[in-house]
């Protein structure tokens, strides 16, 4: 599959977003995405701040080499909402999941954001790009 930025026609709001943030989460995009998350029991996920997430990584001695914008914040919440208590047994392993995802040698810059956009497209969930800037 091709990346979305290979297409000639993108919504104007998406072009503006990508020109500001690239293929990474802005604070507003992350808040919107996490605000729509539900855990495995169907409960709404409570978002932790970027500072709280950064402090979690520091307190556990985990250094992220490829974290940009709010990518780690989104990834942490996605992991907790989808996997915690199942394949991810605790918060420490959620942090390791985020590191493995963002610092994957076989990955690419913007992988978490692009996967999220693909999920929104696949679910038919529109993004109001101008609201994310």
Residue pair 40/82 in contact (Cβ under 8 Å)? The answer is yes
Phi-psi region of 85 (alpha: psi -120 to 50; beta: other; left: phi over 0): left
pTM of the model: 0.92
| Per-residue pLDDT tens over the stretch 76-95 | 999 999 999 999 999 999 99
pLDDT digit string (tens) for the chain, length 133 residues: 455 555 667 888 999 999 999 999 999 999 999 999 999 999 999 999 999 999 999 999 999 999 999 999 999 999 999 999 999 999 999 999 999 999 999 999 999 999 999 899 889 899 999 999 9
Sequence ranges of the domains in the chain: 23-126
């Amino acid at each position: 599959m091709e990346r979305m930025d290979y297409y000639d026609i993108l919504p104007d709001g998406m072009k503006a977003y990508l020109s500001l943030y690239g293929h990474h989460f802005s604070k507003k995009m992350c808040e919107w995405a996490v605000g729509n998350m539900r855990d495995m029991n169907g409960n709404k996920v409570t978002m932790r701040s970027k500072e709280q997430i950064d402090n979690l990584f520091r307190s556990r001695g985990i250094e992220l080499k490829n974290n940009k914008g709010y990518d780690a914040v989104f990834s942490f919440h996605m992991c907790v909402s989808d996997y915690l208590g199942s394949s991810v047994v605790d918060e420490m392993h959620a942090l390791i999941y985020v590191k493995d995802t963002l610092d994957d040698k076989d990955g690419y810059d913007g992988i978490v954001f692009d996967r999220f956009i693909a999920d929104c497209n696949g679910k038919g969930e529109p993004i109001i790009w101008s609201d994310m800037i």
